[in-house]
Amino acid sequence: MNTIQTLPGDIELRISSEPVPYREALAEMTERNAAIAAGEARELIWFLEHPPVYTAGTSAAVSDLLDPRFEVVEAGRGGRYTYHGPGQRVVYVLLDLRKRARDARGFVHALEGWVIDTLTDFGVEGFRSEGRIGIWTSDIDGREAKIGAIGVRIRKWVTMHGFAVNIHPDLTHFTGIVPCGIEEFGVTSLKRLNKDAEFDVWDKALLARADAFLGALETRCPKETPA
């Protein structure tokens, strides 16, 4: 079941209450991306959850697939292997950058900022780390760990894919892969950090910062950005 709303700029906001199989979501994203590029559909921001799946980006190395206990799907986005599953909030962002600053790097930077700013509402300090894609934080042992994954594709200046934030997933499911090809760092979640939240609470906090995210896309990203 989907809840459909409209964000400023006539952007469709879709919130799926039931898990959506990854292949099904990928097919719909691909079709919608092409329709937006052709001027035949509205832009879309889609909140959802997937059944357990490992997705392979365009840079995925077979050696990073340690235990394919779940379905493995080639995603077509940038990056390496990523896990999606219950307890993880996935947000797909399909926007026409022709209406905004045509800046792929700035788009990724804005996505990261959207997640980082929202994490502060839950008492979690997220940050970027140079050379490591994703959103990072300090884990309960003080080591850096990934709490959010970023993976995007841009076709004809229309974006697809987006980000995933670990709210309360089963973190053992990540052990079947080397997440994003980075062996020396682990993954964490709001629950592991004792900041657990239901999806509706996380969604509300994220949407409260949607205007700032969209506003950030109006200008090109500075050449130098802090990690």
Write the CATH number for 174.
3.30.930.10
- Say if 224 falls within a structural domain: no
134-153 residue pLDDT tens? 899 999 999 999 999 999 99
- pLDDT top residue among 168 and 82: 168
168-178 residue pLDDT tens? 999 999 888 77
108-138 residue pLDDT tens? 999 999 999 999 999 999 999 887 788 999 9
Among all residues, which ones are annotated catalytic? 180
- Say if 19 falls within a structural domain: yes
In one-letter notation, the amino acid at residue 166 is N
Instruction: Tell me the residue range of the domain where 45 lies.
Output: 2-216
Q: Is 107 exposed, middle or buried (0-12, 13-18, 19+ CB in 10 A)?
A: buried
- Say if 64 falls within a structural domain: yes
21-33 in b/e form (b: 16+ CB < 10 A) is ebeebbebbeebb
Number of domains in the chain: 1
- Say if 23 falls within a structural domain: yes
Is the whole-model pTM more than 0.85? Answer: yes
With DSSP H G I counted as helix, E B as strand and the rest as coil, what are the percentages for the chain, rounded to 5? 30, 30, 40
Neighbour count for residue 68 (Cβ, 10 Å): 11
Between the alpha carbon of residue 185 and those of residues 42, 114, 118, 138, the distances in Å are 39, 23, 22, 11
pLDDT at res. 100: 94
pLDDT at res. 223: 62
Q: Which two tokens stand for residue 67?
A: 């235990």
User: Is 77 labelled as part of a ligand binding site?
Assistant: yes
User: Is 134 labelled as part of a ligand binding site?
Assistant: no
Summary mean pLDDT of the chain: 90
User: Is 81 labelled as part of a ligand binding site?
Assistant: yes
- Say if 28 falls within a structural domain: yes
- Say if 225 falls within a structural domain: no
User: Is 3 labelled as part of a ligand binding site?
Assistant: no
- Say if 11 falls within a structural domain: yes
- Say if 101 falls within a structural domain: yes
pLDDT at res. 203: 98
